[in-house]
Structure 1
Amino acid sequence: MRLQKGRDTWVLEADIKGFFDNIAHESILKQLGNLPKRDLIQRWLKAGYVLKGDINPTKTGTPQGGVISPLLANIGLHGLEQFIKTTNSKLGIVRYADDFIVTAKDKGSLEKAQTRIQQWLSERGLELSTEKTVITSIEKGFDFLGFNHRHYNGKLLIKPSKKKVLAFCKRIGEEIKAMNGCEQEVVIKKLNPILRGFANYYKGVVSKVTFSYISSRVWYYLWSWAKRRHPNKNTKWIRKRYFKTIKGNKWTFACTGTDKRRGKEVEIILYPITYTPIERHVKVKGEASPDDPSLKEYWKKRHQKYGKSYWEKNSRNYKIAQNQNWKCPICGEPLFNGEEIETHHITPVAEGGQNDIENLVHLHQACHKQVHSKSKSNRLK
């Protein structure tokens, strides 16, 4: 927000060297205070890890990739934001686990802050990487959490970072290449959640050009895949075999499959990432938390106001909610009670479930997790 308004034009891109390997156990335990089961957490930290059958003790750090490691590491860095503010109240800071940036109006303020931050980290067994920690002008731009932030003619634009886009395209190419012997339906069902996941992560920023670029790269990979499968067939045959005209697009990668739940033929279509709608994120007010019962009305109104296009009358999401009387079928509470809302496939996509209204239901995020934790026989009907 400070960068958007032009108040801050310099950014400290901080990189903690070997964070998960080096954070002191004492700093994590100190933050926990008298939390119940503190001794259990201490044993977790000291438990070590098994690599190729050998037990490796952990005197410091928490194994990267461990289920609880990100949480413990986040606890260890708790208080960093407040400390930075005490050094200079005019500084801005954004932190996500061990990734953080500090913003300021001038470079000198960040140089002083960097020295103080290093002192704070050293008390916790950590240090800033001298190679990767840099101070950058917003005019040049910087990457943070997969997004590129940069001023263009004085206006801040946030886009998917080039590095992440190229890595994503490479992954898609490798996935497709590994499926040379697979049927088209298998390929589509493998790629769709990957494409949709990328689109959902980046749909809140300036991503239209990126989505179009990815779409063209995916088309090239799929065309090459089809050519490899049929080296003796001409272009016209391959196009007719693997591509259909759907909603005006003559090159839609699609095939006919069977809906196992209803026993009828359906079109199985590659997720059209180009058509992903851009939905701007609206910053949450202050330190408002969805878990605060006193703010239930705030979160309810926020969902309704900023989800207007999502819940537009007669839209697919509107009709799904209407079918379930605007209530979560798991807890029975109204959908708009302030909790995050997710859409669940009654018959999983992997088992032939489609994205039609009859196969979708809106659930509160916690209820959605509850459904997926149940056994196959106890699924939502």
Structure 2
Amino acid sequence: MLSNVALSVLDEHIAQGLGGPASTFNDRLKRRRRGLPNYRLIRYADDWCLVVSGTRAHAETLKEEAAGVLATMGLRLSPEKTLITHIDEGLDFLGWRIQRHRKRGTEKYYVYTYPSRKALAAVMDKVRTQYRKTGTDLPFDTLLVQLNRVLRGWCAYFRPGVSSAVFQYLSSYIWGRVIWWLRRKHPRMTWKDLRRRFCGGGWWPASGERELFSPAKVGTTRYRYRRSVIPSPWPTTG
């Protein structure tokens, strides 16, 4: 809440700026012909990204401009966290990796969004921590409840993106961790008996109450086009 209050000055500054979200389509075209930048601000609490259609020099100028606006609120940009980058080089934002790539088999380039390496490492660390702190003296269902809670939330967040390959990788990882936990719990049980008892004769772990959540089965919903589905907070010009 405090971030939203403090950074509202930046929202207002960008909203009122020439080339900002209040500019009309024709205004933006005129600015481009004159070599001037157009820009948009994406902000969630204290995480924000200024998207600039222009040169690196334009981005540098807008960065200094934003720093000046924030200074009026006693805030400053963090040198470690502030990055100016091209979309072809990509950036990490709110756990997502956002980068433009050539589409396989074509010469066309598109912007893709997928879970960042840091986000994947974080959820893998949560899984690893959970199965380590869940003692083998506890029922198998206890481990499944804890892991499913983590995995469902993570996959729901990253579902609207190019996440299928990451989901497949995560499924393989958690399968190995859970099987390792079961082998520790039942060291004398043969692999055949373990599969029969805890995988229903198949390969995917499950207890009598529930099945281990599989990220690989989560369908993705890519390329949501906002347009007017979500009302814009910016004032419109007639």
TM-score band, normalised by shorter chain: 0.7 to 0.9
With normalisation by structure 1, the TM-score equals 0.51
Is it true that 1:285 corresponds to 2:228 in the alignment? Answer: yes
- Bigger share in strand: 1
Question: Deviation of residue 158 (structure 1)?
Answer: 0.4
Structure-1 separation of matches of 2:141 and 2:110? 44
Cα 1:283–1:224, aligned 2, differ >3 Å: closer, same or farther? Answer: same
Question: Deviation of residue 124 (structure 1)?
Answer: 0.6
Structure-1 separation of matches of 2:178 and 2:190? 15
Question: Deviation of residue 88 (structure 1)?
Answer: 4.5
Question: Deviation of residue 120 (structure 1)?
Answer: 0.8
With normalisation by structure 2, the TM-score equals 0.80
Deviation per residue, 1:229-267 (Å, 9 max, x gap): 12233322222222125xxxx21211223xxxxxxxxxx
Cα 1:287–1:75, aligned 2, differ >3 Å: closer, same or farther? Answer: farther
1:175 counterpart (118, 130, 142) = 130
Question: Deviation of residue 167 (structure 1)?
Answer: 1.0
Deviation per residue, 1:148-195 (Å, 9 max, x gap): 000112211100111001110111111011112221111112222211
Residue 87 of structure 1 contacts residue 113 of structure 1 at CA under 8 Å; is this kept in 2? no
What residue ranges of structure 1 are gaps of 5+ in the alignment? Answer: 1-70, 258-267, 290-381
Aligned to 1:194: 150
Deviation per residue, 1:347-371 (Å, 9 max, x gap): xxxxxxxxxxxxxxxxxxxxxxxxx
Aligned to 1:185: 141
Question: Deviation of residue 123 (structure 1)?
Answer: 0.9
Structure-1 separation of matches of 2:212 and 2:188? 25
1:161 counterpart (104, 116, 121) = 116
Structure-2 separation of matches of 1:97 and 1:274? 31
Aligned to 1:297: none
Residue 148 of structure 1 contacts residue 161 of structure 1 at CA under 8 Å; is this kept in 2? yes
What residue ranges of structure 2 are gaps of 5+ in the alignment? Answer: 21-37, 103-108, 233-238
**Paired residues for 1:262-341 under 5 Å:** 268-280=210-222, 281-283=224-226, 285=228, 288=231
Moved over 4 A (4+): none
Is it true that 1:213 corresponds to 2:172 in the alignment? Answer: no
Question: Which amino acid counterpart does residue 225 of structure 1 have in structure 2?
Answer: W
Q: Percent identity?
A: 27
Question: Deviation of residue 144 (structure 1)?
Answer: 0.5
Aligned to 1:232: 188
Structure-2 separation of matches of 1:88 and 1:252? 53
Structure-2 separation of matches of 1:282 and 1:203? 15
Residue 134 of structure 1 aligns to a residue whose secondary structure is coil
